[in-house]
Amino acid sequence: MSRRRTLGTKKKIALFVSAAAVAGGGAFVMASTSNAAQPAKTAAESQVCQGLATALGNNQRFIDGQRANPDAQSEARIANRQAVIDEIKRKQEASGCVVGESAQDSQSAQNGQQGAGAQAGQQAGGQQTGGQQAGGQQAGGQQTAPAGNAGAGAAASGEQVCKGSTVTLSGEGGAPAASSNQFPAGTKLKVTNLDNNKSTTVEVTSVSGSCVLLNNAAFEQVREPGKFLIRRAVIEKVG
C-alpha cells in the first residue's frame, strides 16, 4: 500500500510540471506573437520618432557636407557624428521607431514656408548656390556664420532668432551645449520650450545642419518626458 501511494504522488508531480511547461510555452508564444504584431512607427506616426528622425537627418547632412568639402579635421568630425548616428539608431530601436529613418531638419522646412523678407531671401540664396552653405562654409569647420545667414549671426543680443524652427537633439554628449549652421562658436543662445516653459542657455560649440541643435545634456533641461522634438520653441541670442 505504501509503495502504491508513493508512485501516485510522483505521477501527480510529473503531471503538474508538464502542465506548467505547456502553459509557459503558450504564454511565450502569445508574447512573441504580440510583439511581432506591433510594427515599428514612422516619424509621421510618432513625435518621438519624428524627433529622432530629424536628429538623424541633421547629422547625416553634416557628414555629407564634410565629405563634399573636406579639410584636415573632416575625418575626425565624421567619425564623431557617425558615433552619434549609431546612438540615435539605438534610441530609435528602443523607442519602437523605424531604425535608420531620417527626416529633413526644421530649418529646411522653415525656409520653404517663409515668404518675403530679407532673412528668408538670404537663407534661400545660401541654399541655392551649389550647396555652399551646407557643404562649404559650414562643413569646412570654420567657426563663423555662413555667408547666406550673416543676418542671423549678426542678430543683436536679446533678439529672437530662427523664428518658426523646431528644436531637436544632436545626440552628442558632454556638458550642455549647442551646434548651429547660423551662429559662430562662442555665441550664447537661450532656448525656451513653450510647452512646459523650461529654458536653457547654452553656448554654440560646433557646426551642424540646423539653426540650433541641443546636445543630450541641454535637451534634457527643456524636454518633455519621452519626447525628442520641441515643436513650440523660442530661440534668443543672448551673447
pLDDT tens string 31-62? 444 445 689 999 889 888 988 998 898 888 88
How many domains are contained in the chain? 1
**Is the per-residue pLDDT at 176 higher than 90?**
yes
The predicted structure's pLDDT at residue 236:
95
User: Would you tell me how many other CB atoms lie within 10 Å of the CB of residue 227?
Assistant: 18
Tell me how far apart the terminal alpha carbons of the chain are, to the nearest angstrom.
94
Return the higher-pLDDT residue of 128 and 180: 180
Mean predicted confidence (pLDDT) in 178-185? 91
Distance of CA 39 to CAs 33, 45, 96, 99, 113, Å? 12, 11, 8, 12, 32
Q: Residue 73 belongs to what domain range?
A: 47-237
Mean predicted confidence (pLDDT) in 114-142? 37
What's the predicted TM-score (pTM) here? Answer: 0.57
- Is residue 164 in some structural domain? yes
- Is residue 7 in some structural domain? no
The predicted structure's pLDDT at residue 123:
38
Looking up residue 78, the CATH number of its domain turns out to be: 2.40.40.10
**Is the per-residue pLDDT at 143 higher than 90?**
no
The predicted structure's pLDDT at residue 3:
52
- 218-228 residue pLDDT tens: 999 999 998 88
Q: At 38, phi and psi to the nearest 5?
A: -105, 100
The predicted structure's pLDDT at residue 14:
56
Residue corresponding to grid cell 535637451: 219
- Is residue 202 in some structural domain? yes
The predicted structure's pLDDT at residue 68:
92
Return the higher-pLDDT residue of 183 and 15: 183
pLDDT-derived band at 66 (thresholds 50, 70, 90) equals: confident
- Is residue 32 in some structural domain? no
- Is residue 42 in some structural domain? no
- Is residue 39 in some structural domain? no
Mean predicted confidence (pLDDT) in 130-152? 39
- Is residue 142 in some structural domain? yes
pLDDT-derived band at 135 (thresholds 50, 70, 90) equals: very low
- 77-108 residue pLDDT tens: 888 888 889 989 998 999 999 999 988 644 44
The predicted structure's pLDDT at residue 62:
86
- Is residue 186 in some structural domain? yes
> Can you list the positions of beta strands (E) in 137-187?
159-161, 167-168, 178-179
Report how far residue 48's alpha carbon sits from residue 53's, in angstroms, rounded to the nearest whole number: 9
Cβ atoms of 152 and 202 within 8 Å: the answer is no
